[in-house]
Structure 1
């Protein structure tokens, strides 16, 4: 496995409205644990589409890992269309710019601004075709935007050798409980 797509919930789908929300730290820890395992299995590139939430948190995790352990790990940002951040709040645009500035590769599937939802599907198809694995923060118990990529990846896996890894709420809960346990006893 050389290239993995990382995606998942957007912040508002999780009731997260601040970048510094405590829940974000647990989500990033789950992402980090998975990335480290994948790097040991040969991961070289992380691909994201640059959407708010899981994808930008994943990029932040990779940037930290580049400094600490894996300087050769790369981040590619492939947006579905040009100027995807157009309608975002100023603080989110700034966050997005911070992530873009550190990326190793940036491109867009569609070379036009938003025209319709088919651009989002085209982006998902493109990312699956350009990768060996998907790491998705998604729990079938809680519907949300990641279900489209998840369902497409499952179909793709039927035709190719494709690795799908899912971070569920139970995984996040385990990290929370482990931290609480360690805080109590150390």
Structure 2
């Protein structure tokens, strides 16, 4: 069994504020390309969170691939109970919809948010239950919340048998160029 954790930039960090933003299609294209390669190399689970941005887009990309790869499974794990309850109603509805579409969903902590320790516990859970992380993050974006996941995954990759792939701004631009080229071919 091979399980992948995909995380990274939040939607607002990418400048994506609605479902019609063209950047969204580029990121889904990138995620599907990455996931296809992982599935063909033996990955059978995507385990990710429910953050708006890369995590939710990864779920969408994986769900679209299930037709071609029906054996591939998707888990949506949140750090704590009632995760996302403070979001706008439309964003809460989008998270709930994804929860109904995945193969498994749960919260690492069965308590509502009480402390930052729950977020550390969540990271440890993700590292313990995956063999690889794909993180959309660029070290130039120091203010990004993805930085915390990047640092913990980087440390795991340095100290253990854990694999880390980072999709930085340059790689994201390459995906954008590939996507644009693929649209011209149609």
Residue 82 and residue 184 in structure 1: after superposition, are their counterparts in 2 closer, same or farther (change >3 A)?
Answer: closer
Q: Report the equivalent of 1:133.
A: 132
* Paired residues for 1:1-186 under 5 Å: 2-67=2-67, 69-143=68-142, 144-181=144-181
- Structure 2 residue runs of 5 or longer lacking an equivalent are none
Deviation of 1:20 after TM superposition, in Å, equals 2.0
After TM superposition, the score normalised by the length of structure 1 is 0.93
Task: Supply the distance in 1 between the matched residues of 2:127 and 2:80 (Cα, whole angstroms).
Answer: 17
Deviation of 1:182 after TM superposition, in Å, equals 5.4
Task: Supply the distance in 1 between the matched residues of 2:92 and 2:48 (Cα, whole angstroms).
Answer: 16
Residue 179 and residue 106 in structure 1: after superposition, are their counterparts in 2 closer, same or farther (change >3 A)?
Answer: closer
Residue 93 and residue 174 in structure 1: after superposition, are their counterparts in 2 closer, same or farther (change >3 A)?
Answer: same
1:133-185 CA-to-partner distances (Å, cap 9, x unmatched) read 00111111112111111111111123311110111222221232234445567
Task: Supply the distance in 1 between the matched residues of 2:41 and 2:64 (Cα, whole angstroms).
Answer: 19
After TM superposition, the score normalised by the length of structure 2 is 0.93
- Structure 1 residue runs of 5 or longer lacking an equivalent are none
Q: SS where residue 30 of structure 1 aligns?
A: helix
Moved more, 2-11 or 141-150: 141-150
C-alpha contact (below 8 Å) 1:139/1:168 kept by paired residues: yes
C-alpha contact (below 8 Å) 2:29/2:179 kept by paired residues: no
Task: Supply the distance in 2 between the matched residues of 1:29 and 1:180 (Cα, whole angstroms).
Answer: 10
Aligned residues: 185
Task: Supply the distance in 2 between the matched residues of 1:59 and 1:39 (Cα, whole angstroms).
Answer: 14
Runs (4+) off by over 4 Å: 181-186
Task: Supply the distance in 2 between the matched residues of 1:158 and 1:168 (Cα, whole angstroms).
Answer: 19
